[in-house]
Amino acid sequence: MTKTQNQKEKSIEIELRSRFSLEKYNELEKFFTAHATDLGEDDKDVYFFLFPDKLLKAVHNVSKKSAKLVLKLNKIGKGSDFEEIEIPIRQEDFEKAAHMCIALETGEYMRSYQKRHNYLYKEVECALKWSELWGYHLELEIVVKDTKEKTIAEKKIRSVAEELGVKIMTDQELKEFTEKAEADYKKKTG
């Protein structure tokens, strides 16, 4: 495969996040129901394998009855662009795939169930979520093929976030939050 062919197949997610109360979650759910394209439930059971500069996930998409392994070539708190490499696996192989990653002793891992519903609003995919680790939160995302498109995508996402009345977390806030969540998870399970 040539470098040009490989670049064409690249998928880079530009993701920004916001955390908020149950009341804001309910408000956003009503707003999206009235004004956005409903992309459906997207509940997931996920093993997160933590590296200093990337994230490996074994994902069971409970709602869509599918599974995959995902390598994000960046880590939350280190910028908004996440190149992803995804390998679909059979749903029934999800636990085996997770066990394989655990057996490789790749480092720390966490397991989290995410209640999630996806919407499309003004060309931004909005995942309205709840998980034990993150609480109520929103992930706003646009997928681009080239990092040159990052600035435009971020502006569009920030504009939607402002309209929705949600505060986007800074990289520093994300770094501090994820470090605390990881430490709390270790205490709880260790």
Domain ranges of the chain: 13-189
Residue 7 pLDDT > 70, yes or no? no
- 121-143 pLDDT per residue, tens: 999 999 999 998 899 999 999 99
Q: Spelled out in words, what is the top-level CATH class assigned to the domain 13-189? A: mainly beta
For residue 88, give the nearest of 46, 112, 117, 59 by alpha carbon. Answer: 59
- 14-43 pLDDT per residue, tens: 999 999 999 999 999 999 999 999 999 999
Largest Cα–Cα separation, the chain:
50
Residue 158 has what pLDDT? 97
Q: What's the rounded Cα separation, in Å, for the pair 165 and 116?
A: 20
Percent of the chain with pLDDT over 70: 93
Q: What's the rounded Cα separation, in Å, for the pair 36 and 52?
A: 36
